[in-house]
């Protein structure tokens, strides 16, 4: 199985924002977030407005609004005399975020097993198949889109919007770690196997097994991301 990698992006055209997106600002936010997740911009790197306008194909006003949104999420920091940069994370901060994410995704999975109706179960199974298909391509944007769809369906089936909102904020904060995770050899295949085990437990309505499968998936993702973060910081010293 070929693994989508951050370096495998087919140029910057994939970050252009569709004009029919509603609302358009949401599309700009998602495009910049994806660019960061794929390593187009790394932690500590400046985010020049003109570069972002060219990248997304939208106006400077929309880019500024998107940057304010990303700043409120903790993904972007605005420094005096430098402007907006991609916010960095220490290994300790990342560990704390993953600890909370572990519990929230476990809870979401438990609730899904207890509450999801037939339509939600069909949607999640289809999302897993979409993720498998995306892993066969070399387009990392397709992989991230499929992963987002999977979690959107998981949260929808859990029936708890507060869990989804909390997870969204946590995942925004660790977006900067996704590029190195995507580049980890074999991680895509491992991730799919972990999520397949989760879906199997969810389809069986086994809340206990589903919760543990979700927590295991997050722990594995954390181990890769934090190890890569430590290596990158050691290399920069």
Does 1 fall in a domain?
Answer: no
Number of domain units in the chain: 2
pLDDT in tens, 93-144: 999 999 999 999 999 999 999 999 999 999 999 999 999 999 887 788 888 8
Q: Provide the CATH number for the domain around residue 108.
A: 1.20.120.530
Q: Is 72 exposed, middle or buried (0-12, 13-18, 19+ CB in 10 A)?
A: exposed
The rounded radius of gyration (Å) of the Cα atoms in the chain is 18
Verify that 118 and 203 share a domain, yes or no: yes
Verify that 182 and 148 share a domain, yes or no: yes
Beta strands in 57-174 (DSSP E): 76-79, 83-86
Q: Which of 86, 107, 124 is the last residue of a domain?
A: 86
pLDDT in tens, 136-189: 877 888 888 899 999 999 999 999 999 999 999 998 888 888 776 766 778 889
Verify that 55 and 123 share a domain, yes or no: no
**For the ranges 159-163, 224-228, 233-237, which has the lowest average pLDDT?**
233-237
pTM score above 0.75: yes
Q: Could you give the CA distance from residue 133 to residue 14 in angstroms, rounded to a whole number? A: 18
Verify that 171 and 186 share a domain, yes or no: yes
Verify that 116 and 200 share a domain, yes or no: yes
């Amino acid at each position: 199985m070929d693994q989508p990698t951050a370096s495998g992006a087919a140029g910057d055209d994939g970050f252009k924002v569709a004009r029919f997106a509603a609302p358009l600002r949401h599309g700009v936010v998602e495009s910049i977030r994806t660019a960061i997740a794929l390593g187009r911009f790394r932690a500590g790197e400046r985010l020049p407005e003109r570069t972002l306008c060219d990248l997304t194909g939208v106006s400077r006003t929309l880019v500024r609004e998107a940057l304010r949104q990303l700043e409120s999420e903790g993904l972007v920091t605005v420094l005096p005399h430098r402007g907006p940069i991609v916010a960095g994370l220490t290994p300790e901060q990342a560990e704390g975020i993953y600890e909370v994410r572990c519990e929230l995704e476990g809870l979401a999975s438990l609730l899904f097993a207890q509450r999801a109706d037939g339509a939600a179960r069909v949607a999640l199974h289809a999302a897993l198949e979409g993720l498998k298909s995306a892993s066969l391509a070399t387009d990392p944007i397709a992989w991230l889109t499929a992963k987002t769809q999977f979690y959107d369906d998981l949260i929808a089936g859990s029936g708890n919007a507060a869990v989804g909102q909390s997870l969204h904020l946590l995942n925004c904060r660790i977006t900067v770690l996704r590029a190195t995770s995507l580049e980890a050899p074999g991680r895509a295949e491992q991730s799919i196997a972990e999520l397949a085990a989760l879906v199997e437990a969810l389809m069986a309505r086994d809340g206990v097994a589903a919760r543990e499968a979700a927590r295991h998936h997050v722990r594995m993702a954390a181990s890769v991301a934090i190890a890569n973060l430590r290596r990158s910081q050691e290399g920069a010293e």
